[in-house]
Structure 1
């Protein structure tokens, strides 16, 4: 393992690119490899044993590609599998959890909403975090049923998704939330639509920048941060490369996405 080795990132599909963007922005010199397990998305409705198996599969693929650190850019995989990964592999792992703490500390109405997958909301790790930080706060938990599937199809801005979000968010709005925590790495791609639906005073929190900062901190502590520009980011998917490419390509960068059967 060397400073020039890549940062490995995996998710149940394309959503974790929201995390990749924060990492790439904070650490532009680092070589990143992104693995989208879209063929098995969504993880949020699978049993824990299956989530662990898929997380191990993704980890071993990234290790074979030389990853010096692995970012589990999936809330469901983090809350259900990261302890198993950390106990079985020597490489450091960075996980992603719903940002309950900042929402609970800053809420004025003492009521916050969490939009997440079933797999995250029913996990022991989520329950522990929620209990720790939300003792004096009412937490409205809503399963974002069907949202990941629509984003994986490239439909994040569709009228169908907007209608789904109206139905999902109304109970939270009725209860008086002033913070909405996004508990799935796919959901930041819904922020423009969320802002159309939510009252203007409701603040939206996701975990992307916190994950990027933690990745930098761990690499610094292990003296694994590179100081010279590495090769361009690499993206692999076992789903439709066009959908992943559409999320990461901008006017400045036209990243290559490769289909990989893994």
Structure 2
């Protein structure tokens, strides 16, 4: 089945580009439209009703651009709003949530760490997932301030290093052997995290799993792109420079108020 409409993705900011990268690597022929709602980042501090309203606004923006499916490239948006989005719209939605299952299944110490936003860790969907793995000790940590620093282009700042040390040290002391990154911004912190945690701790993010699910939906439900070179469009309602830099200045970033 052929469908040359683009894949739509949205996030509370630039972090979902980690998901976009995984999808683009697996599906290089697909056109993509990425929406960074950086003006409202982070979603993790907001009430559920506000998160749903923002997700509806983002969805409408992408549907106006004729996307064939939408990837909610944000853990907080997925855990708080994806049910409502699926109820409202016919377009397929693919969500992202912390990869607790592989960590819990493979943990030898029966102790895993999860670094995520408050909105994700307090969500009903997240807590339902945690209940399935009661034999595993789960050390939860809210990543206060991390998204804001990434959105401000302060990825390698002393403040970032200080925050990560304070969040990760208790997990190390608790003897975790898996660290689950529960926010699409956090994969950009992996080089810094690896300097802090021992190499016996494995880091898990959701990018590859989301890319595989996107491929599955395209092949089984919506159809794949069959035109030569793919096209990627990036929108932001904040400073385009930060998003452009996280993409290594390889793509044009359009500033648009929405």
Q: TM-score, normalised by structure 2?
A: 0.98
SS in structure 1 of the partner of residue 44 of structure 2? coil
**Contact 2:99/2:206, CA 8 A, preserved across alignment:** yes
CA distance in 1, matches of 2:195, 2:188: 13
* Match status 1:243 vs 2:239: no
The residue that corresponds to 1:3 in the other structure is 3
C-alpha root-mean-square deviation of aligned residues, in Å?
1.2
The residue that corresponds to 1:170 in the other structure is 169
The residue that corresponds to 1:256 in the other structure is 252
SS in structure 2 of the partner of residue 44 of structure 1? helix
SS in structure 1 of the partner of residue 21 of structure 2? helix
Deviation at 1:227, TM superposition (A): 2.6
Deviation at 1:231, TM superposition (A): 4.3
**Contact 1:14/1:244, CA 8 A, preserved across alignment:** yes
* Match status 1:220 vs 2:248: no
The residue that corresponds to 2:89 in the other structure is 89
Deviation at 1:202, TM superposition (A): 0.4
The residue that corresponds to 1:57 in the other structure is 57
* Match status 1:116 vs 2:112: no
Deviation at 1:191, TM superposition (A): 0.1
SS in structure 1 of the partner of residue 34 of structure 2? strand
The residue that corresponds to 1:141 in the other structure is 140
Deviation at 1:199, TM superposition (A): 1.0
CA distance in 2, matches of 1:151, 1:227: 35
Q: Which of structure 1's runs of 4+ aligned residues deviate more than 2 A?
A: 227-231
Gaps of 5+ in 1: none
Deviation per CA, 1:208-255, whole angstroms, max 9, x where unpaired? 0100000000110015112333542000000110000001126xxx21
User: Which range is displaced more, 241-250 or 18-27?
Assistant: 241-250
Taking the TM superposition and a 5 Å limit, the aligned residue runs for 1:204-219 are 204-219=203-218
User: Which range is displaced more, 2-11 or 143-152?
Assistant: 2-11
CA distance in 2, matches of 1:112, 1:87: 33
User: Which range is displaced more, 143-152 or 220-229?
Assistant: 220-229
Deviation per CA, 1:159-202, whole angstroms, max 9, x where unpaired? 21011000011111110000000000000000000000001100
Deviation at 1:157, TM superposition (A): 1.4
Deviation per CA, 1:42-97, whole angstroms, max 9, x where unpaired? 00000000000000000000000001000000000000000000000000000000
CA distance in 2, matches of 1:229, 1:192: 34
- Total equivalences in the alignment: 258
